[in-house]
Amino acid sequence: MTDQENPITTTDAGIPAASDEYSLSVGADGPLLLQDHYVIQKMAQFNRERVPERVVHAKGSGAFGYFEVTANATPWTKAAFLNTVGKRTPVLARFSTVAGEQGSADTARDPRGFALKFYTEEGNYDLVGNNTPIFFVRDPSKFSDFIHSQKRMPDTDMRSNNAQWDFWSLSPESLHQVAFLMSDRGTPKTYRNMNGYGSHTFMWINAQGEKFWVKYHFKTEQGIENFTDADAKTMMAEDPDYHRRDLRTAIENKNFPTWRLEMQIMPFKDAATYRYNPFDLTKVWPHSDYPPVTIGRLVLDRNPENFFAEIEQASFEPANMVPGIGPSPDKMLLGRLFSYPDAHRYRIGTNYLQLPVNQPHVEVHSYNKDGAMRSQHSGNQPVYAPNSYGGPKADPEHYTDPSWATSGELLRSAYTLHAEDNDFVQAGNFYRHTLSAIDKDHLVNTIVGHMSQGVDRFVQERALKNWYQVDSELGTRLASGLGLAPVLTATGREKQNQ
């Protein structure tokens, strides 16, 4: 330490640096010297400060906290972190917008990511959800197409409402989520004032081997609050980091945000005959069919010390599931099991799980080795299995592979339709029964405003046909707002669903 109590500057190798301000030259006006290693290192490191931003969910914020079990969940899952009332598990949460880049404004209209990492005694459990219970598409084959339609166009490098509505109007399964997005829940006031949903259907397995299908709902205990379209737009200019600032400040002020975890739980056998396909990510399970059961509470009480190290490099992956929790036939979920770890290997590097924020809080005993930037290793442990020298042994008794019956045929197909399935019915129920009169006005104005900006007439007309099928009143109001003739009528199917 110097007299001023400041540490002495060093190179990244810990060697005392000669100067904080001056490079080494031959004479005051002379050429710079390659042996000035510290200055060269500064310039080189600066050029490498960024890792590729996430293609989706680039702008986000996060905080640490814990999850506490508040009710007995053992009838449905043997997951150890859920097995005792009062048990607390450390958690990292990251919230984000989807389409904007890292510097984009927080209050843009967009779904929000709601990603959780539970550092459990059986390894990391990641639940990587959104603030909506549903999604735009139901097959991972369409995911990159959907995102391409939302992000910047190849020629102009600007976003295009026309591309968005072109894709949506050709993908009617997106209507339910678009209705959410265009409602005021598309512009949450803060991260603290929105719900988080696991969105997919997952499997839970209890200690007796019984299986259940489940959905996660983290309900905000701060209450839902949204911006109107106008206020969200004003805030985009006033404070592009509004959500980031709000979360950080709330935690700094010890105003810790909390969410109540409610589960919808479906007996395994019900799936085959349920009125909606329960694995279709564009559908909810109505609460009246499967009433939510409260099992725990999420509390965020600690800000990151270093944003890059702990949030930018945080790597969530839906494939991280602990014993007692498994996937379901939800095709989007199955696609995401691959795509997330693949993204992390590209963005962060092969050994991203060794960074402190991603490291499990339990010991790792795998047979994987080496790779760029590996820092933890198992010493002289055998690097192959089976072996005779005391290497780790898998425990098939403890880990039951989650499974379900399939036909075994290879095919490309849409989901099996269940009795009341179509792409319009739940979006229609949302409009008719969930939205208040004011919510409906806002939805209509937002869709009309969005579709009026550079969207081709034929695309508007096609989108309108879909909205008519969602609800004829909604279709009529949108037609009038867009100056299109209300020539279409509700289909028999839609009337049946009203």
- Residue numbers annotated as active site: 57, 130
Long-range contacts formed by 308-311: CB under 8 A, 24+ apart = 309/355, 309/356, 309/357, 310/62, 310/92, 310/356, 310/357, 311/60, 311/61, 311/62, 311/94, 311/357
- Judged by CB, which is closer to ligand NDP: 284, or 300? 284
Which three-class secondary structure state does DSSP give residue 352?
helix
Instruction: Find the part of the chain contacting ligand NDP (CB under 6 A) among 268-276, 334-342, 399-407, 424-432.
Output: 424-432
Evaluate whether 195 touches 320 at the Cβ level (below 8 Å).
Answer: no
Q: 80-84 long-range CB contacts below 8 Å, 24 or more apart?
A: 80/120, 80/121, 80/122, 80/322, 80/323, 80/324, 81/118, 81/120, 81/121, 81/122, 81/125, 81/322, 82/295, 82/296, 82/324
Of 2-10, 232-240, 281-289, 407-415, which part binds ligand NDP (CB under 6 A)? 281-289
Mask 380-419, x = binds ligand NDP (CB under 6 A)? ----------------------------------------
User: What is 264-288 written as a DSSP string?
Assistant: EEEEGGGGGT-SS-TT-TT----TT
Task: Name which of 313 and 422 has its Cβ closer to ligand NDP.
Answer: 422
Shortest CB 220 distance to ligand NDP, Å = 8
Q: Cα–Cα distance between 51 and 102 in angstroms, integer?
A: 12
Of 429, 465, 481, 482, the residue at the interface with ligand NDP (CB under 6 A) is 429
The answer to whether 228 touches 442, Cβ cutoff 8 Å, is yes
Subset of residues 164 to 183 that bind ligand NDP, contact rule: CB under 6 A: 180, 183
- Closer CB to ligand NDP, 294 or 434, in the complex: 434
322 vs 435, beta carbon nearer ligand NDP: 435
- Of 358, 426, 446, 469, the one binding ligand NDP (CB under 6 A) is 426
Closest CB to ligand NDP among 121 and 420?
A: 420
- From 57-65, 94-102, 273-281, 423-431, give the range in contact with ligand NDP by CB under 6 A: 423-431
Cα maximum dimension of the chain: 88
Contacts of 386 (CB under 8 A, 6+ apart): none
**Range in contact with ligand NDP (rule: CB under 6 A) among 16-24, 294-302, 394-402, 431-439:** 431-439
Angle between helices 457-470 and 472-482 (to 10 degrees): 160
| Least CB distance to ligand NDP at residue 125 (A) | 21
- Minimum separation from the CB atom of position 447 to ligand NDP (A): 15
Among 227, 430, 467, 468, binds ligand NDP (CB under 6 A): 430
- Residue 195 sits in the site that holds ligand NDP (CB under 6 A): yes
CA distances from 219 to 135, 294, 367, 418, 485 (A): 18, 10, 40, 29, 41
201 contacts ligand NDP (rule: CB under 6 A) = no
Q: Is 286 in the site for ligand NDP (CB under 6 A)?
A: yes
Instruction: Return the residue of 265, 266, 271, 284 that touches ligand NDP, per CB under 6 A.
Output: 284
What one-letter code names the amino acid at 361? H
Full DSSP string of 461-496: HHHHHHHHHH-HHHHHHHHHHHT--------HHHHH
| Residue 211 CA: distances (Å) to CA of 7, 43, 192, 207, 402 | 58, 56, 33, 10, 8
119 versus 430: smaller Cβ distance to ligand NDP: 430
CA distance 461 to 467: 10
Residue 202 touches ligand NDP, criterion: CB under 6 A: no
Name the one range near ligand NDP by CB under 6 A: 40-48, 347-355, 427-435, 445-453: 427-435
224 interacts with ligand NDP by CB under 6 A: yes
For ligand NDP, the binding residues in 103-162 under the rule CB under 6 A are 133
154 cis-preceded (ω within 30 degrees of 0): no
CB of 19 to ligand NDP, least distance (A): 58
Please identify which residue in 138, 211, 219, 477 interacts with ligand NDP, judged by CB under 6 A.
Answer: 219
**Applying CB under 6 A, which residues contact ligand NDP?**
133, 180, 183, 185, 195, 219, 224, 284-288, 426, 429-430, 433-435, 439
